[in-house]
Structure 1
Amino acid sequence: MGALIWLASYPKSGNTWMRTFLHNLFTNAQQPVDLNRLDDFTLGSSTAAWYRRYTPTPPENMTDEEAAKYRMAVQRDFTQVFPDSVFVKTHYFLGERDGVPLHNMDVTAGAIYIVRNPLDVVLSMVPHFNVTLDEAIEILRDENAGTKPTKTHVSEHYASWSTNVKSWTQIPNPQLLTMRYEDLLEKPRGSFKRVTNFLGLKPSTERLERAIKFSSFKVLKAQEQKSGFKERPEGAEAFFREGKKEQWRAKLTPEQVRRIVDDHREQMERFGYVPKDYA
């Protein structure tokens, strides 16, 4: 039986990138792992198939209350998948919903949390959720933000960007590693080395750099263009868009920047995301 390591983030913040890196690293892949086989290595906290063991209710009809009833048991079942660490993707905030924790800490060993500048997050949310930019800004501040149940997933509960970030990172914990998306972009070798150190791994330089290369945005985008990606939302042209930082400078109006900073200043300041003109 393994213990869970959560790969946590607000949506569109680099979670899939981290999953792909770890998959390539752990399998010591000699060529990029198949993007559509990520769930062979990492589980999803909202995957409905796990709930079918406990209830005949179709996933799309499952209420939040019913999902909450089985959530702790489902997450305990996750530990049976691998004998050692079990990596689980989650966009849930760290807290309770319907009186039940969103994460089973009794079977948790640790977590890696990825935080990304919300000024760029909103740009990625627009095509992903098929919303306008102003609607994405509203979702970013919505404490009830999340997804509705579907045939394949139970509801997810993000909360606002600030709540999501704060819930995971406000209390220092040696079992938690917080990574900035921007650092992964700018200093990939040093940043991903921090990840392997946190996990107690000592890969060779060649193995580490190969995993970084095989999980690069360029490689992931090329894979999606060639074979598609099953996690691409219906209606979205692509899952992987730009993979850059500070695109907001050319795409957000000053008023939109001000709204986001006003909504999320405390957490943005913690991670150095408040532009000088809005300090």
Structure 2
Amino acid sequence: MIIWLASYPKSGNTYLRCFLASYFFSDDGKFEFDQLLKIHQFPNLKFSKFKSDSKVQASQNWIYNQNSFFNKNDLNIVKTHNCLTPFENNEFTTNNETLGAIYIVRDPRNVITSLTNHYSLSYEEAFNYMIDDNASLLQTSYENDFSNFTNLNSWSNHYKSWKNNTDFKTLFIKYEDFESRKEETFLSIINFINKLKNINSNIDENKFLNSIKSTNFSNLKNKEKNEGFSESMYSQKTGKKVNFFNLGFNNRWQKILPNNIKEKIYSKFNDELVELGYLNE
């Protein structure tokens, strides 16, 4: 069955994938980019049995494709940016396909600064994207196949859809804890996965520490610089590749976010900022 690594884009999903890939899919906990191939992303063209001619048809195939490609007896750690809110009455997943989920939430004031870099957007464009209930990640790939369609929704609805889910167990992680409580946070994630899989194994301490060390942000940034990273995108403005691992924990909204955008985020996401304790940080 599937254990989802879920998040709104630019919230630390890839950082967590790197750590889990190095811990679960290496012999010594030393990270290499090709280990990420063990943690797939869904929706995805390669996990689609049939061509989808529309977003609606793609959503109708989500559960069928999960059952077709992910063996229920295997450990399937799968990344997604999909909202859990049904799209045109089509569920993204159910407890028949899903064992559990890890959801990463990040301060939206830092999400927006990361979005502007990754997608080459202005702050206004990024903010409008984050409040758009119809937002999606979509690549109309080969012959207009919509199988990559990801129902993103707004930042708030995305977070609440996973938060309010009761169909399967979900571990909520704040991105900021990867910096302030790193070992404790990663340990809780491994224990959560092991418990879901009914694995009664002790933590391999040497492998655990190697995984943390080899996937720290500066190492990932240097690795991308020296080896390249297939998930980085090309800027629509310059045509050059944008660094995927950009600022990381040095992304401090207090220093770079324009005041008018701060006020818009406070106005739109105040309830979530309070609930998550971000107004006190």
Q: Same fold (TM over 0.5)?
A: yes
Counterpart residue number, 1:186: 180
Are 2:112 and 1:122 equivalent residues in the alignment?
Answer: yes
CA, structure 1 residues 212+93, in 2 after alignment: closer, same or farther (shift >3 Å)? same
Unpaired runs of 5+ residues, structure 1, are none
Contact map agreement 1:126 1:132 (CA 8 A) in 2 = yes
State whether residues 35 and 220 of structure 1, in contact with CA within 8 Å, keep that contact through their aligned partners in structure 2. Answer: no
CA drift at 1:245:
5.4
Answer yes or no: is 1:77 the counterpart of 2:97: no
Q: Offset of 1:117 from its aligned partner? A: 0.4
Instruction: Indicate the SS of the match to 2:248.
Output: coil
**In structure 1, how many angstroms separate the alpha carbons of the residues matched to 2:246 and 2:83?**
25
Q: Quote the offset at 1:240 in angstroms.
A: 0.6
Aligned residue for 1:207? 207
- Give me the whole-angstrom Cα distance separating, in 2, the residues matched to 1:124 and 1:63: 29
Query: Which whole-Å deviations, capped at 9, do the CAs of 1:167-208 have from their partners, x for residues lacking one?
Result: 111357872100000011111111111111112253132221
| 1:215-238: CA deviation from partner (whole Å, max 9, x where unpaired) | 211111111111111111222421
Q: Give the whole-Å Cα distance in 1 for the aligned partners of 2:59 and 2:262.
A: 36
Give, in whole Å, the separation in 1 of the partners of 2:114 and 2:265: 15
1:67-216 equivalence runs, <5 A: 67-80=58-71, 83-151=73-141, 154-170=148-164, 175-200=169-194, 202-216=202-216
Number of the residue aligned with 2:268: 263
Instruction: Give the deviation of 1:79 after TM superposition.
Output: 2.0
Indicate the larger mover: 148-157 or 211-220.
Answer: 148-157
Q: Aligned partners of 1:159, 1:197: CA distance in 2, in Å?
A: 30
SS in structure 1 at match of 2:112: helix
> Structure 2 residue aligned with 1:251, among 252, 256, 272?
256
**In 2, distance between residues paired with 1:142 and 1:243?**
25
CA 1:36–1:207 in structure 2 vs 1: closer, same or farther (change >3 Å)? closer
Say what the alpha-carbon RMSD is for the aligned residues: 2.1
Report the identity percentage. 28
For the structure 1 residues 197 and 150, does the alpha-carbon distance in structure 2 shift closer, same or farther, using more than 3 Å as the test? same
User: Is there any run of 5+ residues in structure 2 with no aligned partner, and where?
Assistant: 195-200, 236-240
SS of residue paired to 1:114: strand
* 2:278 corresponding residue in structure 1: 273
2:13/2:104 contact within 8 Å kept:
yes
Q: TM-score by structure 2 length?
A: 0.88
> Which residue of structure 2 lines up, in the alignment, with residue 242 of structure 1?
247
